[in-house]
Chains A and B, each alone.
Chain A
Amino acid sequence: MSPRARVALLALAALILLPGAASVIAGLPPFGATIARYGERINAITPEARHVANMVSAINFDLRGLDTLGEEFMLLAAITGTVILLRGRRGEGKTGRAMRRPGRAVIPRSEAVVLACRIAGPLTALFGLYVVLHATVTPGGGFQGGVILASGTLLIYLGEGYVGWRDAVRSPWLDALEGGGALLFALCGLAPMLTGAAFMQNVLPLGTFRDPFSGGLMLVENLGVAMAVAGGFTQLFLEFMEETREADEPDEPGEESA
């Protein structure tokens, strides 16, 4: 089909879809008028039932924890897929090829970059941990904190160079972190069943409202998510970066720093 025919087809479909969309929008409750009963109900009962302040975390880790379990494993599937697809190209045995490239000196980075990264790195890690640990009281949680932690490892790359980064961050460890986090989450679901409770039912003490250590089992699940996400995203960055390295180019720091 020529591009023009394609756009014509799209326009034709739009002729039918637009009135349909308009009637649906007209049928919806006006924006900002009301919220659904389900959400209202959760806002009403969860602070007391689970001693947590952050309703979104309560939904993600308790009320609808199964969704998050699926989501975590979706991430795991995507990252496993990425690894298969990228490594299949390079060959499984050569995962560390760029890490050990003989005969190449490490070009020193400017002092300022190294210093900045060495200061910012731990700060980012600290911030990531803060976001992870305060899942039940403030915005954020395992997922957001995990992504921040993973981005923190990129600072090692900027500061210490590619070889230093690859030396510090090893693929098998990341697999272990990712798989271990997902396993921890899944076991959080299964373990309560041993005591006769339902899958992912809270069996731990709930803690005090507005305290970071509130929510019982949620905290463990949150930790599992953080591990899985941090490991997974780091693995993702690692495999992507490796992809840019195959051509024989000088090891230049900060080339990806945009």
Chain B
Amino acid sequence: MTAFPAVLLPLPVAIPLVVCAAMLATAHLLPGRVPDILATLAALGVAILSAFIAAHAADGPLVYWFGGWEPRDGVHLGIGFSVDEASGWVAAFIGLLYALTFVFAWGFFGRTHGHFQILMLLFLAAMVGFCFTRDMFNLFVWFEVMSVAAFALTAYHLEESALSGAINFTVINSLAGFLMLGGIGLIYAQTGTLDFEGIAAAVARGGRDPVVAGAFCLVAAALMIKGAIVPFQFWLADAHAVAPSPVSVIFSGSMVSLGLFGLAKVSAVVFAGSDQVQHGLPVLLTALGSFTALLGGWMALLQRHLKRMLAFSTISHAGIMLTGIGALSADGTGGMLVYVVGHGLVKGALFMVAGILLATRASIDEIALRGLGRGIGPAGIAMAIAGLLLCGLPIGVLDQGTRGVQGALAQQGHGIALAAGAIGAALTGAAVLRAAGRIFLGLGPDSGDEAGAPSEDEREKANRPLWLMLAPCCALLVLDVGLPAHLIEHALPRAASAFMHRPAVDTVAEGPGWLPWMSVLAALAGAAYGLLRDRLPAFVVRSVGATQSAPTRALEALHSGLIGDYAAWLAVGVAIIVAMLALA
């Protein structure tokens, strides 16, 4: 029999599933607000339960065997959940993000018989299952449930862009699922088990084995596709830009980073014993991560469609997270885990601001919205604060994550990745601050290259009071800034080593203190340039513009929206991973 706290492990997955099945069964009988209330309560319940589990997992991971099928004679017969402290807190964060999103979307999806809430709850259950599981195939199942729920939610608006964006998203992420399943098949054939620990033991015994390396390539490619790493990132901008804003909050705030969370877990736990994988990973992950951070940041700066801008900024931050994993140390991974939470809080708040603008000002276009935000000052302040936090203002959870990642990179001499991360963060911060200045202060009459970026008319129902939308947004920011730093500092070394199944370390390294400030300064400079372009001397503007326009056009052409191109890039991406591992 399982001891007390571990008995709770199935509940954070089972509760949302039961609630959504019951909601579907009685879909036509439920009165108006009941789905909203039920969904919010279920998400809160998940958050509280996960937090409770996480707190109890501090002494060691909690393990639960479904159906009572505990391992016999070294063979893992059933599916297990294994929750370490970090996984538990990430699940708690996700539950909270959902609860706040349900509040944000209160009544937004009123006439759908709770179908929106059903999909969101399924999405939530899948994410928690993804965090908790210790079985390869079970990981795949939750991965697919996440995907399927996400596909349907993306196209909710039924606009042409939403539909074609959803198709691209679906096709690419389905391919990711197939790759992952192929990898699982290979590793199962080679090791004879699906359990993380079982595979890890067999891999460590096996020595250099092309099958294990191949399996890792396939699984890693799948998780990087979910995590929107260059050159798999194309789907993200198409999908996140067109999804309803409450859905985008979840996508950017948790789905993308969860892909990388899975990658961190798989490479640290399952493939820890493969020297080939461990040798190849640092170069592969830091290189791809740096490239992603820069490309995402640059693209974000060039957008005028707010949600598309935020989507590219998510790509950039995913790159930074990947460099954190690439350090392959407790500092880097620990920093990355904190970063996941901090980024989710800040990015969620930003997408909520975008949703507020969509609902109250009926537009999402930065240039069209210029000066229109004056009546909703609090949203502007929230956006500015979020922008500053995004580029590295040294307070709050996101900053703590950044310092962890930067510390690990500095310690291991990945100077380029360190710089790329700082520049990427600065670029996305500059983009958000510029948009905030233009929308809420009416600055920046002269729109530069942004004007050529794609945009589209869009609006969302204006049926919710402003405070109801603003409250969850502010709650996210307050959480990010207000969470006591020493709590995280205290728990992080222990949690990160438990997450990676390594002996505990005492402290984690921290990056140079001046680096975040540099990012903030660069972001402010970038935003100021965008907003005050008309007041600068002409030769400055012209020379900067000349260096901007050509790469901009090339990059925008690369993000062509054509599914065929994306499929070709996907093959290239897998080939890059294979080549890097083959050389290791």
Contacts and interface: CB of A to CB of B under 8 A. Distances in A.
B148 A178 contact: no
A66 B66 contact: yes
Contacts of B59: none
B14 A190 contact: yes
B312 interface: no
Q: Chain A at the B interface: mostly helix, strand, loop or mixed?
A: helix
Interface in B369-384: none
A81 B18 contact: no
A9 B152 contact: no
A78 interface: yes
A1 B75 CA distance: 50
Given A64-B79, A182-B21, A200-B66, A80 B571 contact: no
| 8 nearest A-B residue pairs (beta carbon) | A81-B152, A179-B25, A179-B24, A24-B214, A13-B571, A37-B192, A183-B21, A36-B192
Contacts of A41: 75, 77
Interface in A176-199: 176, 178-180, 182-183, 186-187, 189-190, 193, 196-199
Contacts of A175: 24-25, 27-28
Contacts of B118: 76-77, 80
B93 interface: no
Contacts of A27: 190, 209-211, 214
26 contacts: A6-B564, A10-B571, A12-B572, A12-B575, A17-B571, A17-B575, A20-B214, A23-B214, A24-B211, A27-B214, A37-B193, A38-B192, A63-B69, A64-B79, A70-B138, A73-B20, A73-B145, A77-B148, A80-B119, A82-B152, A89-B158, A172-B27, A175-B27, A179-B27, A187-B18, A199-B10
Interface string A5-16: 011011011111
Contact of B78 (A37, A63, A74, A85): A63
Interface in B54-87: 64-69, 72, 75-79
B128 to A, nearest CB: 12
Interface stretch (B107-115, B277-285, B519-527): B107-115
Given A63-B77, A77-B122, A78-B152, A189 B571 contact: no
A242 interface: no
The size bracket of the interface on B is 35 or more
Question: Which has the most chain A C-beta neighbours within 10 Å: B24, B191, B565?
Answer: B24
A102 B190 CA distance: 64
B404 to A, nearest CB: 32
A229 B395 CA distance: 50
A201 B77 CA distance: 13
A77 B189 contact: no
A199 B66 CA distance: 5
A28 B186 contact: yes
B582 interface: yes
A107 B102 CA distance: 49
Given A70-B138, A182-B24, A6 B568 contact: yes
Contacts of A84: 112, 115-116, 119, 152, 156
B538 interface: no
Question: Which has the most chain A C-beta neighbours within 10 Å: B21, B138, B158, B209?
Answer: B21
Contact of B564 (A3, A21, A81): A3
Interface string B2-39: 10000100100010011011111111100000000000
Q: Chain B at the A interface: mostly helix, strand, loop or mixed?
A: helix
A167 interface: no
Interface in A48-77: 62-67, 69-71, 73-74, 76-77
A42 B210 contact: no
A176 B2 CA distance: 35
A60 to B, nearest CB: 12
Contacts of A77: 118-119, 122-123, 145, 148-149, 152
Interface string B561-580: 01011011101101100110
Contact of B68 (A20, A21, A66, A201): A201
B441 interface: no
Question: Which has the most chain A C-beta neighbours within 10 Å: B26, B77, B213?
Answer: B77
Contacts of A198: 2, 64-68
Given A38-B194, A183-B22, A6 B119 contact: no
The size bracket of the interface on A is 35 or more
A29 interface: yes
A252 interface: no
Contacts of B151: 81
Given A13-B568, A92-B113, A175-B27, A36 B193 contact: yes
B121 to A, nearest CB: 10
Interface string B216-259: 01000000000000000000000000000000000000000000
A178 B579 CA distance: 46
A26 interface: yes
B43 to A, nearest CB: 16
A24 B192 contact: no
A113 interface: no
Interface in A141-178: 172, 175-176, 178
Contacts of B463: none
A83 interface: yes
A57 to B, nearest CB: 14
Given A80-B152, A183-B22, 18 more contacts: A10-B571, A12-B572, A16-B579, A27-B190, A27-B214, A29-B190, A70-B142, A76-B20, A80-B122, A81-B119, A92-B111, A92-B113, A179-B22, A182-B17, A182-B21, A182-B25, A186-B14, A199-B67
A138 interface: no
Contacts of B567: 10
Interface string B192-219: 1110000000000000011101100100
A123 to B, nearest CB: 29
A88 interface: yes
Nearest to A196: B1
B144 interface: yes
